[in-house]
Each structure stands twice: as structure tokens, then as C-alpha cells.
Amino acid sequence: MFCFRHILFAAVIAVLSFGKVRPYCYKSEYPSCNLKPSIQAYFSESTSYSAPHLLLEGTLPPLRHFTLCTWAKAWKVSDHGSFIFSYNLPQIDNELLVGVYKVSSPYNPPYGPPYAKQVYELSIHVYNQQSRVVCRNFVVGQWHHLCYVWTNVLGRNEMYVDGIRCVESTTKIAVSYIIQTAGTCVIGQEQDAVGGGFDPKEAWIGEIADLHIWNEPLLPSQIQYMSRCNFCYPRGTVFNWLREPLIAKEVIFSATDVCAIDIQAQPFQEPDQYD
């Protein structure tokens, strides 16, 4: 016959068992586990000045800080910049813009011998002020987890490839600025007008999956965690991939192979950043 003590004991056992089988989470306040990236968007090379792109129907709230993270595979990167996410206001070009640049000149690092491989830079614009930084583990034709972090506190910003911060110093931008709301978000093209003014030389050519934006600077440990495909991390607080209404023009959606391998069976290995 059950009594209160039996019920309490069963409840304790149930809680302990549940704790054992739950996937590992970065923090207990992030209960959204098993959110494996499922859909990727493919942006083909185009000579058109209007496509391909995703136009979001929503806007961003005012932002004193942000973190934008996405999985991205580039098939070609331009020395004009290949842009992933563009946010424009009628009166302000490049209110928030992130992308990747091909460095056209030979790269001489501040220490060590000249770098022989093709080098790429990640780039953030806020309020049309730009910060670029060399990220030596970025490679064309491979999936990478890219993160862009900016705060208006002294205009600090950081960029990450596969959970590793691009180590050279960045330019402080948009000190004390608050990114304005009521702008227009475009994925895969760089706006020079609201919702348009695209240039094919600045388009993203490749795949994008699981793009999220948070209204806070995430910690390096959180970013590294996300880059490891543990499928249990906070979703974007101000933009959540394919959860917002959008208009797609000449973009091909398909199931993604990002994080297709169970990372628990494939221990994470840091890319060799200094080879």
C-alpha cells in the first residue's frame, strides 16, 4: 500500500534518473536540448542585383549589445566582402552588418613568418563603423561556426570561428551607440538601401544554417559550447532561425549535414590555428 513516503521516494528516484538520461546542458537555465540544426539555406552565385536572399518580415529591437552566431559554408569569398546578415535603416546604411572578406594582399602576421595560405577576415559593421579581424582557421568550402559579438561598452567586439576567437586586436566601433529598431533584415546580401541595393560581388555564395541573434554578449565558453554541436544551447533571443516570417527569393532550402555526427562519439578537436 502506497503512503506519502513511498511517493516521495519514487519522486526522488524519478528525478535522479531523469538527470542521468538528460543530454548535457551548458547551464541548467537553458533547457532547450536536442535542437540539432535541421534546415540550411543555399545561396547560389548570381549576377542579378536582387537575388538570392531572405528578407525578414520582422525587425530588431534596440540593441546595446548583440551576439550573432551561425553555421556557414562559403563556396566563394570576395575581397569586397561576402555578407551573411545585413540590417539597414532608411537613414543609416550598415546599421548592423556581418560577413567575411578574402584578404587580397599577402598576410604578414604581427609575429612569426609570413603566412602562405589564403587568409580571410571576419567583419562587423555597427552604425556604419567597421571592425575586421584575420581568422586563420576559416576555410572556403567547409562548414564553420561563426560568431560576431559587439557591445557598446567601449565599442568592444570579438569574432570567433569554430569556437576560437580570432586573436588579433579589433577596432572599437560605435561606442555607446544603441542599434535602432524598425530596420530591415536581409540574409545573404548586403543592403545599400532598405531591402535592396544589393551587389552580386558582396553576396553570400554558399550555405547558411541556424543563424541566431542574442541581445547580449555571449561568453567565450558559451560560444565554444555551441560550436561543438551538443544540440543544447540557448536559442537566439532576438532572432531565431526560421522561426520568424520571411520572404525567400531564389534560396534553396534542404536538410543540413551540419552536426550530423553525434558529437558525443566524436570528441571535439580544436583546429590548428597557428600552423
Nearer to Ca ion (CB atom), residue 102 or residue 125: 125
Residue 168 or 192 with smaller CB distance to Ca ion: 192
**One-character DSSP codes across 221-261:** HHHHHHHTT-SBSPPPSSEETTTS-EEEES-EEEE--TT-S
Residue whose CB is less far from Ca ion, 93 or 210: 93
CB of 221 to Ca ion, least distance (A): 33
Q: Is 34 exposed, middle or buried (0-12, 13-18, 19+ CB in 10 A)?
A: exposed
We find the least distance from the C-beta atom of residue 195 to Ca ion, in angstroms, to be 12
DSSP state of 264: G
Interface with Ca ion: number of residues (CB under 5 A): 3
- Cell numbers standing for residue 85: 546578415
Cα–chain center distance at 184: 18
192 interacts with Ca ion by CB under 5 A: yes
Binding of Ca ion by 82 (CB under 5 A): no
Question: Quick one: which segment of 18-26, 89-97, 135-143, 262-270 binds Ca ion (CB under 5 A)?
Answer: 89-97
Asked if 123 touches Ca ion (CB under 5 A), the answer is no
The window from 41-49, 52-60, 90-98, 249-257 that contacts Ca ion (CB under 5 A) reads: 90-98
199 binds Ca ion (CB under 5 A): no
Q: What are the E-state strand segments in 107-204? A: 120-126, 129-134, 143-151, 157-161, 164-165, 184-187
213, three cell numbers: 541573434
User: Which parts of this chain interact with Ca ion (CB under 5 A)?
Assistant: 93-94, 192
